[in-house]
């Protein structure tokens, strides 16, 4: 899948749809490559698996290429980090590319360390908010899910907003209650940050008890969610010590 999409994205006349698909495939590969402990590192203090780093960089490049082809003005606004990036209005056709840019830009910034994460978080947040406003169903509530993660574990603890984080996660779950990765992130980010071990356990047990194949379109993601839920439950005593 990566090879096929890369061919369309890197052709002499690249296709925006192929670049977006390449970024999407790298996003899924990133989920599969990084275990829950690595993905949970949101302050730049930890390390990630080399495979996860490779997918973040390649996915970011593909998303940036898609945006350059689809919406040069939007791509230009995101070219450099800004405390308050002025993003032009986006439509649903650009939303997926912008969302994938935010996903991979955030992961790449985490890899590059605390300073880069702090620098890029405002632009990523603005992009996610624009995606949510354009299409709240994108990636099964993905913009709200990522905003929930960022509000629970921002670069600086002083910027943590647990009330906002919970609201973001709850809206994402309203959009796609059977998308199990959102339940995992709700436990992994919000419940840990809020020190709510009962919620943490309840959300992860819900994932393990759910029928991951009930919605065939997200079965691979739900299977990954189950693996991550088991790993996180095994770390409960460490996370809530």
Does the pLDDT of residue 48 top 60, yes or no? no
What is the predicted pLDDT for the residue at 158?
82
CA angle 176, 118, 74 (to 5 degrees): 65
What confidence tens digit (pLDDT) does each residue in 90-114 have?
777 789 999 999 999 999 998 888 8
- CA nearest 75: which of 56, 103, 94, 91? 94
Does the pLDDT of residue 174 top 80, yes or no? yes
Task: Please give the full DSSP string across 170-221, using - where no structure is assigned.
Answer: HHHHHH-TT-HHHHHHIIIIIIHHTT-HHHHHHHHHHHHHS-TTSSGGGHHH
d(CA 131, CA 154): 19
What is the predicted pLDDT for the residue at 83?
67
Is 161:148 a contact under the CB 8 Å cutoff? no
pTM of the model: 0.88
What confidence tens digit (pLDDT) does each residue in 72-81 have?
888 888 887 7
Pick from 37-41, 71-75, 77-81, 116-120 the range whose average pLDDT is largest. Answer: 116-120
Q: How confident is the model at residue 183 (pLDDT cuts 50, 70, 90)?
A: very high
């Amino acid at each position: 899948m990566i090879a096929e999409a890369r061919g369309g994205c890197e052709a002499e006349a690249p296709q925006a749809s192929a670049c977006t698909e390449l970024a999407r495939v790298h996003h899924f590969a990133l989920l599969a490559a990084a275990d829950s402990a690595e993905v949970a590192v949101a302050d730049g203090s930890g390390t990630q698996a080399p495979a996860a780093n490779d997918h973040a960089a390649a996915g970011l490049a593909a998303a940036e290429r898609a945006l350059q082809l689809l919406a040069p003005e939007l791509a230009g606004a995101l070219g450099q980090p800004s405390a308050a990036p002025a993003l032009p209005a986006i439509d649903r056709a650009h939303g997926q590319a912008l969302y994938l840019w935010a996903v991979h830009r955030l992961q790449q910034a985490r890899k590059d360390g605390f300073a880069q994460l702090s620098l890029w978080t405002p632009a990523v947040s603005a992009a996610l908010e624009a995606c949510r406003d354009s299409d709240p169903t994108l990636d099964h509530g993905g913009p709200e899910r990522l905003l929930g993660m960022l509000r629970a574990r921002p670069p600086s603890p002083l910027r943590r907003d647990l009330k906002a984080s919970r609201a973001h996660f709850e809206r994402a779950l309203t959009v796609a209650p059977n998308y199990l990765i959102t339940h995992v992130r709700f436990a992994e980010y919000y419940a840990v940050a809020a020190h709510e071990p009962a919620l943490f356990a309840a959300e992860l047990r819900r994932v393990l008890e759910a029928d991951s194949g009930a919605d065939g379109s997200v079965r691979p993601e739900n299977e990954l969610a189950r693996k991550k839920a088991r790993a996180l439950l095994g770390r409960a005593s460490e996370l809530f010590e």
